[in-house]
Structure 1
Amino acid sequence: MLFQAIDRPSVQEKILDGVSRKIAKLHSPPAFGKTAALRAAYEHVTTNPGGMAELFPQGISHCGWLTFSHSYADAAHAVTDLATALGVAPLPGKMTLPELFDEVGCRSGCTLLFLDEVEEPSEPGVASMLSELFLNAPDNLRIASAFRHLPHLPLARLGVRGLVTELTARELAFSRSELRTLFGRLANANEMETFYRASYGWPALAQITRDLLPGISDPSERRSLFDGNHPRLHAYVSEELAALVSPSLHAILRYCAILDDFSPELAEHLSGLKMLPAEIRALDDLYPLIEKSALGPGWYCLHPVLRRCLEAELAVDPNLLPARLHSKAAVWFTERQLIQKAVSHAAQGGNFSLAADAIRQAGGVNLFIRAGHTVLQTLIEDLPASVIHESPGLMLCHTLVLAKSGNVQAARERIEALKMMPGQCELEGFDINSSAFGHIEGMIGIYQDLCSVPAAVRELERMAAELPPQATWDLGWINNHLCIAYTRTGRLDLAHRTALKGLACYREEKAVYAEAFMLMHLGLVNSLAGNFSAALSFCRQAQELARSAEWKDENLDAICSVAAAEIHYQRGDLRQVEESLNEAMKPIVRGEGWVEIFVRLFWNLARSRLRLSGLDLALAAIDKAEEVAVERSLPRLKHASNIMRVELFTRSGLIESAVAIADRLTGMVQEAAALDHWTWRETNDFHLARARLHVAQGNYAEAMENINLVLATSHGNGSGHYLLAAEVLAVRVTWEDGAYGRSLEFLQSAIARARVHEVTQMFVDEGPEFAAILRAIVRRFGLKVFSADGVDFISRVVGQRALLPGERSPKTRNGKAPSAQGLLSAREREALLLLRKGKSNKEIARDLGLSEATIKFHMKNVFLKLGVNRRSMAIAVSDKLKIN
């Protein structure tokens, strides 16, 4: 019995839970620790029967163990052994199973039966008896059983009633933590992870590896052991396979060693052998040696160790050349339009002309663009450079791979080289069309931040107007590019409209990869428009699509996470933002990204880090942004990084540093705008950063001048995001400047804009002084000027603010630190509650144990904050505002 040294409480709990219901059924190949798990559960019951009261309230009358014999000649012999295990005295003559059930059913408590090594009996009478045992056992007979093969027992009805608990090889396999316990110091963390991926936690392979490790000193042999490529592991897996399958199926599986995934039809095609129906059915019962593939029903894949074992068998057979098998598989996949598989096997077989032909037959360049980046990259990497350079279409695909991998300059050079090739004017000499060429060149322009050149935008608009409605693929990518160009130039209504058109086109084309991008663009545009709830909905749809259909593309998932992080930040989910952006940074920095994504990534990461970790880590994010700007030649990202620094320094009280950077930026704006390195977003961000800096210096007129510029621009292009940011800052500026009425107007407008989307962070970011201003506005105008939802929103903003890590305590104009209390103090709420019950000041004082003078003081504050002067009005306003 294996693995007794490892405590497996979770497996034991599942077995006992299943027995408490009715039946616990364990089935897996040999050496998965079934017997050890059953024995542990059995001993736990027998050594501590009184501790089972929670699972077995009626108590345990008897607990028995039976190793089911494979040699039972008849049912009577099996029933006799069952009676002994169940503690039933034998009756005169041969006991029948119903008689045994009667004896057990008369007991007051539960009887537990642990059956080990149960196999499908060859004797029909024994098989019938076994089915009856599981189906007709009395309610107080509970069974735990272990099978090597999936038992053919009619337990479906019991399963529907929740009476059957099933533990398969997946549940019995070792987890990473259990492997660490087994190996101890014999292996490091990287070796453990490698072994887990190779073995799937198969306990027998783990035990063999652990036993071999102390005697291995050769690094290559040690590496082969953890990789699952050791002869001892191969020998064990080969023996298990031979015991479980027929020689003919073993031979067929040997051919499948060259395949990541196989179907019975493909296996027959490669081997030239016919699979029997029973052998096809057996594939479903051979986990973990053979498991179902992610490709769908009817597809399977080999366990990594078994695959290496069969590859070794394949290598020693002179009649089985892997290259020939790969070519044969490539033809099969090509006939079924499985282009990625076809090209991969053709390349591995050295038949590169077949790979190129398969690509052309399946649609050429457009196929690559539709399939998604991971498919495109995998196919291109399988081909040698000489084959790629022979085909302009493959060269164009390689160009796209370079661009999406972050090598944008190299991609641009390849595009220019393609333009100079003979026949480039008409593009007939290419195995591509002008649309595909324009698509890829436009994408490179986006990555280089050159997508809003007026002539290029007009050309895209002309193409969109001339194409027929059924040209959905071309209309899709054209609207995608127009959306990005319109967003860059601040035409948000057009950006939203083209994004919806592109989404509709890609959905009609069933292009999931492109559809996820369009949903993400809709999230970005709606976020800028201030439609934060809609933006989050689009971003979530994009993430779900990417993680379900494009789960291998970590770059796409990271881009969707960046888009969603903008809304999560505005809602105050700072920890989630920091974690998701830390994960997203690596794939985006080394892969696909453009200025809009880079700015959101680093700006929101810096802001969340400032709140959670302090200025140093926030500045590290800005440093990384500048590094990317230099590496990718993105001057606009460099300017945005400097604007970020102005904001961070201002918020952290480092005014001199902020002033120095702001002055330097001011001198660069005109030149940057002339070079198209400064857009409406940089203009708005810089105006807001300078306004905040002017506030810190006490220059309120200059601050309001910058804010008014943002308000005018945002009203013009419909940017609700910047409208909200400007209004929030204007609340503070006008209040500090003594324009209290205007401050209230800005606050009411900002709350109305933010409340419906639960956006609080813009208010919180303005610091403790802003919370003090909110309380001052409430004292001056009363809560009656706000709706009940508005009061709740203000309360959340006031209560959410905390001093930043390393942040200097800010001061109000009179030099005093602002209060950190809410709109109504706890004592004021208590007094108001008693007032609503109709009690006088004297009664309130008595109930609260305070003096009447103190209560009058609290009531005065309550009246002031509610904006009332009578008790009845205070009750009415508090009821309206739902103040408890």
Structure 2
Amino acid sequence: MIDAMIMKGRALTPPVPNIVSSSGNDVPLLLATKLSPPRLARGILPRPRLERLAEQVTERSITVLKAPPGFGKTTLASIWADSLAAQGVAVAWLSLDEQDESVQRLLFYLAAALNHADPRLGLSCLGLHTELTFFSMETLASLLIHELIGFDRPLVLFVDDCHRIGDPILVNALRFFIERAPQHLHMVLISRRELPVALLEKRYVDDLLELDSCQLRFSLEETRDLLRKAGLELEQAGDLSAVHQDTDGWIAALRAFLLAPQFDARGEPRATSRGICLLFDDLLDSLDGPSRDYLCQLGLLDKFSTALICELIGAQPARQLMGELQCRQLFISSLGEHEHWFKLHPLFRRHLKRTCLDQQPDVVASFRFRAAQWFAKRGHWLDAIKLGLEAEQVEQVREWINRCAMELLERGDFSTLVMLEKRWKLEAGDVSLPLRMARAWAMGLALEVNVAETLLNELEADLAGRQQNGPASRDYWEMQSLRAMLLGLADHNETSGALAARCYQAMQHRPWITNVLLNLISCSHYHAGRWDAFYTVPPTFVDGRQGPGLLFHDCYRQSINALGECAQGRLQDAQSGLEHVLERIELSFNARMENPNPALLALPNALLAQLHYWRGDHEASETHLAKCMDFIAMGGFLDCLAAGYCTQARLQWHQGAATRARRTLEQLDVLATRHTWQRLRARVLLERVWLNLQDNKIREALSCSHALVELASQADTEATLDKRVYAQLSLLWLALCGIEETPILVENIEALLVLLQERQLELMYCDIALALGAYHCLRGLPEQGQPLLDEVLLRTQGSGAISLLQDLPLGQSCERLADHVTAQWKVGVDALFSAGQRLGPSAHSCNAALLGLTVKERQVVQLVAEGKSNKQIARDLNVTPETIKSHMKSIFAKLKVESRAQAAVMLQNAQPSQVARA
């Protein structure tokens, strides 16, 4: 399949009538397959964000599709051609090959392509027959232009495989034609390499549309849809992210993974295949020896610049290599907006690295160390340390770590220090005090709380021996600040907040520690529901540099703020804050050519996943989960872990994967047990009660509820209500399903509602009130239950958290409840669900069904939605009405609908999420 995507063979067909081929190669024997776009393969994924660009093709004179093989250039162009033809635009197609290596031959085929689009075009050129070689390029091009001037329709001319023709021939054949063609001619040039500058140099920016591999590669959502269309469901959301990162959205690699899914020793997906490796080998074989060796050495680097390559291999070879890479589009892309920093495709880089290690083992260590030194001189510590370790320059790396440890920590790169700590197991006497402090902070941030406490105890004992641990000592208060953070990460938020407040008041700390303390204070107020104090905590401290350290703390602060806003039912405010901080992080790190710690980005992404789930947008929730689930356990605090894992479990259940949902909760339970997080353990038990009730597993639900009640009854010094709420809610669910009723349950619930109301915990209040209202109604007490249901409906309309209503575990009582509530309440709930229908499970079903359509079938449905009859659709798509009838039968079967109107409605229901993605 990969080879088929890369090499598009052509079949010899009889010559076009009235065209006589003479002996020799100047007058070609026309191949009809060169004049039509290739047939679209089955399994093509609809990509609305790119397909809609067909509209812009007719607004620009030139459109360029340039990318390495396997990025879907020809497929996209073919879809554009079909779409434009359906709109009444004349479409001409020409696929070039190595036999077209003459100006006259190329223009002769151009005339044939135009004639294939409309019989009135190209006749002057085609009629020259054997005299073709006696005419100049200007004459032949002028004949074509003259005919086009008299043509009364817009015409789009696609020229595929431009890379198969040498630049001089391409320029001589097309430059004159492009510059003087009439305005209603639009050209789409498709190539694996950069087109000659001379072809495009006189184009204004707004007259040229260019798409390269960056635009053509699959987005995360498209990768998910492709796997889903192929029937491949990955175990966890993080697996989707791993596949997407490994393939970098390269379509050929994704197809290879679908043919034979592979996983490494750690169970992570890998997309390398024999066909991909052969493609890479062919690309390397096309280079001269020195360029091939230098390119393989680039595979040892995660990123590179022209200056770095000049340092490593010399100025002249570096410029030649960079020019070759960019001209030939050899899987190279610029990083962010920085045109002087580049990276190679992950699979290509891995292949180059393996080739370099096999064929050039003597140069590897030296190359890595020289690159590490170059990075270190410029303060790119992460790259320097990584390459230094790979070059086995341990002592040099130790020296660099001593110089940059706190800088790395304050930028949020604590995972590097954690990796070194685990690798070296340094003793206390081996390193300086600042590095030991940095190590302790890093282990704490990575949730290695026990290790961090051991390091902290050693530091305190060391300072005590030096008699430097008094309240006036800066080191003393930094250690107290670290202890406050460890208490917070252990979920002792009240104790942590009180100690953090003392540290904050004791003395002026450096900005990084000040922000840690402010976050701890804010977190303690959130958990206690002290909203006045919560909103008056000073903002993240800024020292004027606006560096990554500020973003590190702002990410934590915005996550805490979002938790507070969500708890009070202000979901939109929470979402806006989280999205804003993610945008700032992306812009900031793009400007510095670095990547933020993924564990840090996991915090807001996990909360956004939960937010979108609450609001019924399951697709958006899945997208955010894919970005965070691989990393959330590395540095996420308890509430973010709960948000990510519990949201994933509920989504998996809604998708019919209850077994996977149980495994997800088991993984979360392991984390809760490892860190002794009783509050998280309580949340896991509540989710298990919900899951078992939904699956009608009564015994399991009872066991989990009893364990939860026992856990909540244990003494607790924290001010949070979470465990109490979870326990009472589980008991209420059991009673609601008619399984078990405990004494004074209603009295306990009503007292809890009063407390939740006082603390303004909106979502918890709605969860409890909804279940209690339904319970009263089912017991024949509508005068007590209906007011609660009405109140919950009103509050849900304000917050948008419709999943609270959708996820109420009613079991066998669901149908009975409908008979015990007012018609007005049912209308209100239906309206809420209808508003969320295009985002929730029904939209998911629509999208999944539409993914099963071919591109042609999707075009038919789109035209049906526009109100066109079968005859009109047949005319637009240039097929017979019988063909349209056949398409409609297939569409009805795939979408499981019975009418054209139902198919159109499904398309409209699915479109909002697609528009949002585009």
Does the TM-score normalized on the shorter chain lie above 0.5?
Answer: yes
Preserved contact between residue 334 and residue 343 of structure 2 (Cα < 8 Å): yes
Instruction: Provide the C-alpha distance between the structure 2 equivalents of 1:417 and 1:656, rounded to a whole number of angstroms.
Output: 49
Q: Which residue of 2 aligns with 1:3?
A: 7
Preserved contact between residue 368 and residue 391 of structure 2 (Cα < 8 Å): yes
Q: Which residue of 2 aligns with 1:707?
A: 749
State the 1:284 CA deviation.
3.2
Residues 37 and 127 of structure 1: CA distance in aligned 2, closer, same or farther (over 3 Å): closer
SS for the counterpart of 2:339 is: coil
Residues 476 and 132 of structure 1: CA distance in aligned 2, closer, same or farther (over 3 Å): same
Instruction: Give a deviation string over 1:701-754, Cα, whole Å, max 9, x none.
Output: 923311232123223323222333343344345656777655555445434332
2:505 to 465, 473, 479: 465
2:491 to 424, 439, 449: 449
> Within the alignment, does 1:567 sit opposite 2:611 as a pair?
yes
Instruction: Provide the C-alpha distance between the structure 2 equivalents of 1:651 and 1:314, rounded to a whole number of angstroms.
Output: 54
1:153 to 177, 188, 198: 198
2:724 to 675, 679, 683: 683
State the 1:337 CA deviation.
1.4
Residues 616 and 286 of structure 1: CA distance in aligned 2, closer, same or farther (over 3 Å): closer
SS for the counterpart of 1:241 is: coil
1:754 to 760, 779, 796: 796
What is the number of residues matched between the two proteins? 733
State the 1:151 CA deviation.
0.6
SS for the counterpart of 1:502 is: coil
State the 1:526 CA deviation.
1.5
> Does 112-121 or 332-341 show the bigger shift?
112-121
Matches within 5 A, 1:478-627: 478-498=517-537, 501-502=539-540, 508-510=546-548, 511-541=550-580, 554-573=598-617, 587-588=631-632, 591-601=634-644, 604=647, 613=656, 623-627=666-670
Residues 398 and 98 of structure 1: CA distance in aligned 2, closer, same or farther (over 3 Å): same
Instruction: Provide the C-alpha distance between the structure 2 equivalents of 1:94 and 1:652, rounded to a whole number of angstroms.
Output: 79
Q: Which residue of 2 aligns with 1:635?
A: 678
| Residue identity opposite 2:286 in structure 1 | E
Residues 129 and 452 of structure 1: CA distance in aligned 2, closer, same or farther (over 3 Å): same
Counting aligned pairs with the same residue, the percent is 16
State the 1:341 CA deviation.
1.6
Instruction: Provide the C-alpha distance between the structure 2 equivalents of 1:19 and 1:128, rounded to a whole number of angstroms.
Output: 24
1:416 to 429, 440, 457: 457
Instruction: Provide the C-alpha distance between the structure 1 equivalents of 2:786 and 2:138, rounded to a whole number of angstroms.
Output: 86
| Residue identity opposite 1:119 in structure 2 | G
Q: Which residue of 2 aligns with 1:861?
A: none
Preserved contact between residue 503 and residue 518 of structure 1 (Cα < 8 Å): no
Residues 473 and 614 of structure 1: CA distance in aligned 2, closer, same or farther (over 3 Å): closer
Residues 606 and 507 of structure 1: CA distance in aligned 2, closer, same or farther (over 3 Å): farther
Instruction: Provide the C-alpha distance between the structure 2 equivalents of 1:264 and 1:323, rounded to a whole number of angstroms.
Output: 21
> Within the alignment, does 1:339 sit opposite 2:343 as a pair?
no
1:793 to 808, 825, 828: 828
Residues 336 and 401 of structure 1: CA distance in aligned 2, closer, same or farther (over 3 Å): same
Preserved contact between residue 689 and residue 704 of structure 2 (Cα < 8 Å): yes
Q: Which residue of 2 aligns with 1:298?
A: 340
Q: Which residue of 2 aligns with 1:724?
A: 766
1:371 to 403, 412, 436: 412
Preserved contact between residue 493 and residue 524 of structure 2 (Cα < 8 Å): yes
SS for the counterpart of 1:501 is: coil
Residues 560 and 506 of structure 1: CA distance in aligned 2, closer, same or farther (over 3 Å): farther
| Residue identity opposite 1:155 in structure 2 | L
Residues 144 and 439 of structure 1: CA distance in aligned 2, closer, same or farther (over 3 Å): same
TM-score normalised over the length of structure 1: 0.65
SS for the counterpart of 1:371 is: coil
Unpaired stretches in structure 1, ≥5 consecutive residues: 181-189, 211-222, 784-789, 806-884
| Residue identity opposite 1:637 in structure 2 | L
> Within the alignment, does 1:390 sit opposite 2:390 as a pair?
no
Preserved contact between residue 402 and residue 435 of structure 2 (Cα < 8 Å): no
Preserved contact between residue 66 and residue 114 of structure 1 (Cα < 8 Å): no
2:515 to 476, 482, 486: 476
Residues 129 and 761 of structure 1: CA distance in aligned 2, closer, same or farther (over 3 Å): closer
SS for the counterpart of 1:673 is: coil
Instruction: Provide the C-alpha distance between the structure 2 equivalents of 1:727 and 1:225, rounded to a whole number of angstroms.
Output: 53
Q: Which residue of 2 aligns with 1:827?
A: none
SS for the counterpart of 1:759 is: coil
Instruction: Provide the C-alpha distance between the structure 1 equivalents of 2:646 and 2:424, rounded to a whole number of angstroms.
Output: 40
State the 1:478 CA deviation.
0.8
1:132 to 164, 176, 196: 176
State the 1:263 CA deviation.
1.6
Q: Which residue of 1 aligns with 2:865?
A: none
Preserved contact between residue 525 and residue 534 of structure 2 (Cα < 8 Å): yes
Residues 488 and 155 of structure 1: CA distance in aligned 2, closer, same or farther (over 3 Å): same
Instruction: Provide the C-alpha distance between the structure 1 equivalents of 2:693 and 2:417, rounded to a whole number of angstroms.
Output: 46
Matches within 5 A, 1:780-819: 793-796=828-831
Matches within 5 A, 1:28-47: none
State the 1:77 CA deviation.
11
Residues 330 and 546 of structure 1: CA distance in aligned 2, closer, same or farther (over 3 Å): same
Instruction: Provide the C-alpha distance between the structure 2 equivalents of 1:762 and 1:77, rounded to a whole number of angstroms.
Output: 68
Instruction: Give a deviation string over 1:230-252, Cα, whole Å, max 9, x none.
Output: 8x888754543329xxx6x7787
Instruction: Provide the C-alpha distance between the structure 2 equivalents of 1:91 and 1:664, rounded to a whole number of angstroms.
Output: 89
Instruction: Provide the C-alpha distance between the structure 2 equivalents of 1:800 and 1:28, rounded to a whole number of angstroms.
Output: 41
State the 1:288 CA deviation.
0.9
1:121 to 165, 168, 177: 168
State the 1:413 CA deviation.
3.3
Residues 770 and 272 of structure 1: CA distance in aligned 2, closer, same or farther (over 3 Å): closer
| Residue identity opposite 1:535 in structure 2 | A
Preserved contact between residue 688 and residue 710 of structure 1 (Cα < 8 Å): no
Instruction: Provide the C-alpha distance between the structure 1 equivalents of 2:802 and 2:622, rounded to a whole number of angstroms.
Output: 17
Residues 609 and 705 of structure 1: CA distance in aligned 2, closer, same or farther (over 3 Å): farther
SS for the counterpart of 2:286 is: helix
SS for the counterpart of 1:530 is: coil
State the 1:280 CA deviation.
6.0
Unpaired stretches in structure 2, ≥5 consecutive residues: 11-36, 45-49, 113-121, 228-238, 260-269, 842-918
Larger Rg: 1
Instruction: Provide the C-alpha distance between the structure 1 equivalents of 2:132 and 2:658, rounded to a whole number of angstroms.
Output: 84
> Within the alignment, does 1:357 sit opposite 2:399 as a pair?
yes
Preserved contact between residue 372 and residue 384 of structure 2 (Cα < 8 Å): yes
Instruction: Provide the C-alpha distance between the structure 2 equivalents of 1:59 and 1:659, rounded to a whole number of angstroms.
Output: 67
SS for the counterpart of 1:487 is: helix
Preserved contact between residue 119 and residue 151 of structure 1 (Cα < 8 Å): no
State the 1:568 CA deviation.
3.5
| Residue identity opposite 1:3 in structure 2 | M
SS for the counterpart of 1:337 is: coil
> Within the alignment, does 1:240 sit opposite 2:303 as a pair?
no
> Does 654-663 or 595-604 show the bigger shift?
654-663
SS for the counterpart of 1:298 is: strand
SS for the counterpart of 2:553 is: helix
Instruction: Provide the C-alpha distance between the structure 2 equivalents of 1:59 and 1:741, rounded to a whole number of angstroms.
Output: 69
TM-score normalised over the length of structure 2: 0.63
| Residue identity opposite 1:348 in structure 2 | E
Instruction: Give a deviation string over 1:96-143, Cα, whole Å, max 9, x none.
Output: 715751465237667979696443439xxx967752222113568776
Preserved contact between residue 70 and residue 252 of structure 2 (Cα < 8 Å): yes
Instruction: Provide the C-alpha distance between the structure 1 equivalents of 2:354 and 2:697, rounded to a whole number of angstroms.
Output: 65
